[in-house]
Structure 1
Amino acid sequence: MSTSEDVVVRPARVDDVDAVCAFGEAHVPPHYTPLIGADAARQQVTDWWRPEQIRAAVTAGQLLVAVAHDRIVGVAQHAREGVDVVIYKLYVDPSRRGHGLGPRLIEAVVASLPPDVARLLIEHFAGNARAGAFYEREGFAVERVDRSATGRPELDVVWRARVVPGRAGAGSVADV
């Protein structure tokens, strides 16, 4: 049985870029194809897992990786958006799900936040009910839903927010 005990969560390095891209290629299409269709799943890799984009996130300090036995088993990418930080990528190798690695990646993002950030946002496709349930358990409340231009409800983007305890201005999500 896989556990998260043998996993190190750390900031990604430039020499991780190819492995992060390979992780996306290996895990994003099989995960998303049943949820949003093969074309849209492939487009996710094309749009968001390019080496130049991953390298820029690494250089900016916006990408964390979970590594077990020299293999990437999880990825979290975040970026500042106004006064908030958004987690744009949160992926765990399917063989590692259910062992606490997703929450560890989220907490690593929280630990890396600048002190003035009081809210953490995350987004997911409406068709990804498993992600929605996970984020709900992790304290992220639905803030809004952006409708997809395609008219396909599974491609709507659900935005969730969670306050960062102990931060200035950190009230309830409803307060903001």
Structure 2
Amino acid sequence: MSTQPERDGVVVRTAAGDDLDGVLRVGHQTWRATYEPIAGPEFVEMGLAKWWTGDALIPGIRVGRTLVADDEGTVVGMASYGSQDDQLILWKLYVLPSHQGRGIGRRLLDVVIARARELGRTELHVSHIEGNEQAGRFYERNGFRHTHRESGGSGLPDEIWLVKDLTDGGAGAGPVDGSAARQERGTR
């Protein structure tokens, strides 16, 4: 089990069943704060109902593909990842607004990257919605490069897809078809 050592009381670890409420709280708080200004409250409520429920999150927790940032017993961030179409995708990476800017998102990402390498993966894919410039800057600072844009359709924001080459820390190859990915994890 890959975890990141404690720093400032925060440790990144694999989520356990009793972390579900904390993971849900992170999702609900960050989605409202992040996406209401970008895409509106209807988009947020749709996303919360589809991707931020116990039924949606428990499978990732059960198989060990959900991480939490634990600040002295309180979940303040989370990340989840999984395979689709032979690609490893970072489905979610969120940190409570009150804890952003402390390096917690980077620490979560570092553990996902370490796990991807343990699995023998050479790339990690991620997307964020158009207008989420903070996410775009974060991923680019951390070595991801843009591969393509996917239309959101039906009034939904477009998704911007990125990839990170895990073999040398540089840019990776090839786009991913995110249409099915949107159905599994929700849009960042």
Into which bin does the TM-score normalised by the smaller protein fall?
0.7 to 0.9
1:165 aligns with 2:160: no
1:39-97 CA-to-partner distances (Å, cap 9, x unmatched) read: 00111111111101211110111100001021111010111123321111110111221
Q: Is the 8 A contact 2:163 2:173 kept in 1?
A: no
Which residue is 1:78 aligned to?
81
Superposition map of 1:8-47 within 5 A:
8-47=11-50
1:87-136 CA-to-partner distances (Å, cap 9, x unmatched) read: 11110111221121111101111112243210001111011011111111
Q: Is the 8 A contact 2:143 2:171 kept in 1?
A: no
Q: Which runs of 5+ in 2 are unaligned?
A: 1-6, 176-188
Instruction: Determine helix, strand or coil for the equivalent of 2:33.
Output: helix
Q: Cα RMSD (Å) of the superposition?
A: 2.1
Which residue is 2:144 aligned to?
140
Deviates more, 1:71-80 or 1:26-35: 26-35
Q: Is the 8 A contact 2:130 2:158 kept in 1?
A: yes
Superposition map of 1:120-159 within 5 A:
120-151=124-155, 155-159=157-161
The TM-score with structure 1 as length reference comes to: 0.88
The TM-score with structure 2 as length reference comes to: 0.82
Percent identity reads 31
Total equivalences in the alignment: 169
Alpha-carbon distance, 1:31 to partner: 1.7
Moved over 4 A (4+): none
Instruction: Determine helix, strand or coil for the equivalent of 2:119.
Output: coil
Alpha-carbon distance, 1:148 to partner: 1.4
Deviates more, 1:127-136 or 1:21-30: 21-30
Q: 1:40 to 1:10 in 2, by over 3 A?
A: same
